[in-house]
Structure 1
Amino acid sequence: MFDRPVGGDAVVLVSLDFGETGYEESLDELRQLAISAGMDIRATVEGRRPKPDAKLFIGSGKADELAEKMREVEAKVAVFNHDLSPSQQRNLERLLEARVADRTGLILDIFAQRAQSHEGKLQVELAQLEHLSTRLVRGWTHLERQKGGIGVRGGPGETQLELDRRMLRLRVKQLREKLDKLKQQRGMQRRSRRRSQVMSVSLVGYTNAGKSTLFNRLTQSGVYAADQLFATLDTTSRKVYIPEGGSVVISDTVGFIKHLPHALVEAFGATLEEAVQADLLLHVVDTASTNRDDQIAQVNKVLGEIGADQVYQVLVLNQIDRIGIEPGLERDEYGRISKVRISAKTGEGLDLVRQVLLEHQQHLNAQTPHTHTSHISAVV
C-alpha cells in the first residue's frame, strides 16, 4: 500500500554517534528491528558527527561512502537509526538512487506487518498516514481504489498533489471516526466489568521482555510469542479465575521501545487505554538485559504520557533462568508486593504472580468500589 521497505529486502543500516549515551544499545536495537521486519542486513555504515547535516543528515562524504557500500553489497534500501526530515530523505534517495527509511518508518513497517485485528490495522494506517503526510509528493490515488474508499474526484484545474492531499485528509478523518467508535465500545465493556467488580490487570513492558509468554502462562492462551521485537501488537484480554480471589481480566498490551514514534503513541492511545484504566499494572522486565534500567525508564516515560503512571505497578523481573537466580518477591514499606522474580518460560515463580493478583484483589475489595482506584499509588 505504501512505498516502504518490505520483508526480504537487502538493506544497509546507517547509524551516527552524536556523543549521546546508549549508542551501542540503540544500534543493536536497530538491528533487532530490521530482523523483526524480515530484512536481509548486508552491512552497517557508522560515523561520528557533532550534529546532523541539514541536507543529507550524514554529510556528503559519508553519503558517498554509503552509496558505494550499497552498490558493493547490492542493497536496495538504506535504513537509518534516526528520524529524517522529509527533505533529507528525498535528498538521500536522489543521491543513493535507492529507497531510504528512517527509524520511525521502520517501526511503522513492522507494525503494518504484525497488526491482526481490525482496530490494530486502522491504528497502524492512521500512524502511517500522519507520518507520511509530510513526505507526500505523489502516489495516494490508491485510496480511490481501496474497497470502501472515498472515491474523491478533483475539480477543474486541481493538481494531482492537491487531490492527493485532500484525499489524505479525508482518509485520516475517516480513520479517526472509526477508532472513536471502537473506543466508545471498549469503554462500555470496561464499565460492564467494573459493575461486576472484576479486577482489570494489564501487562506492560519493553518489547521482547516476555509479556506474551507470561500472558499465555497465566491465562492458558495461545497468544503468539517470539524472540523478536513487536511479536504481538493487538491488545488481547482474557478472564482468569484466581482461587480465593475470584475472576480477573488480564490484558497483554503492545511492547514499548526507546524513542517510540510519537505518531504511534497517539495512534495506539485507544489500545493503551487498557493500561490507563487498569486496576493493576504488571511491568514485565527482561532481568538478563544489560540495559534493563533504561528500558524500565522508557516504559515509565510512555506510561506517564498516556496517563497510566498513577496506576499501581508491580515489577515482574522475568527471565531469571538466563542468569541463574532464584524466584522471590520484595515488599514496599507498606507491606505490599512491589517486585517479583520469575521465569515465564520455565514457570518458576508463577505462584508469586498469582499471589500478587490475589493480594491486590483483596486490597481492592477492602475499599469501596467508587474510591479504590484513587488510593492506588505507583510503585517502581
Structure 2
Amino acid sequence: MGCASSVYAVGGRKKLTVPEVVVLVPSTRIPAQSDLQRRLRGLIPIDLAHRLSSLRNQIVLVAEDTGGSAIPELRRALEEYLCVLIGLTKKEYGLEGSVEFKWKSLEDGKQEACVANSWFEVLSVVHLMAVLTLSEADILMIPHDHSGSGIRTVSSDCKRVAVDLLLKASGYLEFCVRDVLIRIPPEIKKKLPNNLHDGVLEAISFQSLGQGTEIQLGLAVDCQKATLSVKRRLACEQLTYFSQAYHCLSGCDINNGCGKKHMWFIKWKFLESKAAAYYYHGLILDKGNEPSCHVSAVCCFLAAEEILSESKKACLTFCLAAPVTRAPPRWGAMRHLHQKIPEVATRKSQMYGYLLEQEKALQTLPDLPEFQLSLRPDDYQLPEMDPAWDAEKWETEGQTLKEHLKDSEDETETE
C-alpha cells in the first residue's frame, strides 16, 4: 500500500525500500495477458476483437514496464479500453459472459481473479482508475525539501489538487458500488477478491473523503482568517467520514491481504480526527462565562490528550503491519496539534483545577456537534460506447452476429 518510496542503506550492504504513506492506496491489480481476440472470434467483427485485445494488452505492457508509475498513460489507456469494453455489457449483443477476464497483482504477479463476466471487467477497470488516482494524490502529498533547508513541505497548490483527486477517486469507487456491483450475479460476487467487495470499496470511498477533509483542516489551520468554528466543523466532519469508513470495513473479512493494515490506518485517522474535534470544541466552550463551560472545556482537552496518545500507538501499529510502511513527518493540523493539545490540556487543567474539584458532577465529556458533510464524491459515469459497436451490419467470418447468436440458440434448443 502506498506508492512513494524512500531508500535506506541497511548494514552498509543492502538497500531496503520502505514506502512512506500519506494517502492510503489499495494494492494495485492489473489485467493479465490473455488472447481475447481468439475467444471473441465469430462473435464480433475481427477488427473490433483485435482492437479490444490490443487495448487491454497495452494496459498490461504499460503497467508492467513502469511498475504502475506512468499514471497519465495508464489512465488514457484505461479510458480508451473502457469505451470499447462497454459493448460487451450490452444485453442486445448477448456477450456478457462470453469471455474470461484474468487479473493479477502488480506487486507479485500472482493471479487474483479469472471471471467470465464483462461487468467484472468494468468493475476492475474503474477500480484501477481509482487506485491510480489515489496514487497520484499520495505522490502530491509526500513532502519534499525543495529549498535545501532540510525541511520537507507540501505546497498549498499540491494540497488542493490532492483534495480534487481524492474526490475523484471516491466518485469512481461509489460508482463501482452503486452501478456496477449490482449487475454482477451473486455467485460471481462471492468469488471476487476481497478488495472488490462492496464494504471495502465503500470504506475506501469514505476514507478518501476523510483524507480530503483532513487536508482542508490543515489548510484552515495555516490560514489566519479561519475561525475556530470552521476548524471544529472540519475536524468533526473528518471524524464522521472515518467513522463511516470503519463501519463499512468492520463488516468485511480483513484477515487476508492488507485488510488488517487498512483497518489500522482508519483507526489511526479516526483517533486523530477525534482528538482534533474535542480540542477545537474545548476551545469554543472555554469562551463561555459559566464555570460549567470551563469544566466541560477541560474535559474536552483531557480527552483530546488521551485520544492523541492512542492515535500515536495506532499509527505505529499501522506502520508495522505488513507490508511495512513509514508515516510522513507530521503535517497539516496534526503538526500543530501534537504540540498544542498536551500544552493546553496541562495549562487549562491547572488553571481550572479548583473548579474541577467544586463541580465534580459536571465532569462529563460533552457530545460533539454534528454537521452536514461538505465533501461529496465526484459524479462519475461510464463514457460513451465506441461507435464501432453501432455498425448496422457486422460481418464475422462469413456470418452476421445475429445469425451466429440465432445458430447458438437453435443448437441449444436441439440439444
Establish whether TM, by shorter chain, passes 0.5. Answer: no
Higher-helix-fraction structure? 2
TM-score by length of 2: 0.23
Higher relative CO (Cα under 8 Å, sequence separation at least 6) belongs to: 2
In terms of Rg, which structure is larger?
2
TM-score by length of 1: 0.24
